[in-house]
């Protein structure tokens, strides 16, 4: 079973929607991406076929490393800011090790 942060085919598309890249999506699409990013191992596989169809309909959304590195921001350990941005949409237990100590 797979969850969104393990889905290499859809993750950057979902994060593009969640981060308004390249433009702000409609409320339905944004809500769908947020739910997908929070779905567990039981529910994400049920959503995935629908998400693939929605990606075909709205292919313009994409989150890239360049988006997060554009401002040149990096954590003290050199990890790109993108890792933290990706983690903002995931459950805390998934990203606990990725968040900087502040």
* 52 vs 2: CA distance, rounded Å: 14
Beta bridge partners of 74: 80
Averaged pLDDT for residues 74-97: 47
Q: What is the pTM of this model?
A: 0.67
Taking the mean position of all CA atoms in its chain, how far away is CA 36?
A: 9
Beta bridge partners of 80: 74
Predicted confidence at residue 87, as pLDDT, reads: 53
H or E segment and range at residue 58? none
Averaged pLDDT for residues 63-84: 53
More confident residue, 102 or 46: 46
* 12 vs 21: CA distance, rounded Å: 10
CB atoms < 10 A from the CB of 6, how many? 12
């Amino acid at each position: 079973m797979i969850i969104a942060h393990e889905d290499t085919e859809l993750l950057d598309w979902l994060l593009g929607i969640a981060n308004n890249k390249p433009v702000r999506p409609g409320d339905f699409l944004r809500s769908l991406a947020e739910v997908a990013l929070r779905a567990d191992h039981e529910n994400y596989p049920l959503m995935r076929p629908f998400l693939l169809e929605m990606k075909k309909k709205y292919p313009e959304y994409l989150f890239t490393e360049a988006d997060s590195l554009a401002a040149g921001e990096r954590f003290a350990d050199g990890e790109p800011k993108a890792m933290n941005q990706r983690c903002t949409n995931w459950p805390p237990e998934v990203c606990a090790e990725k968040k900087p100590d502040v």
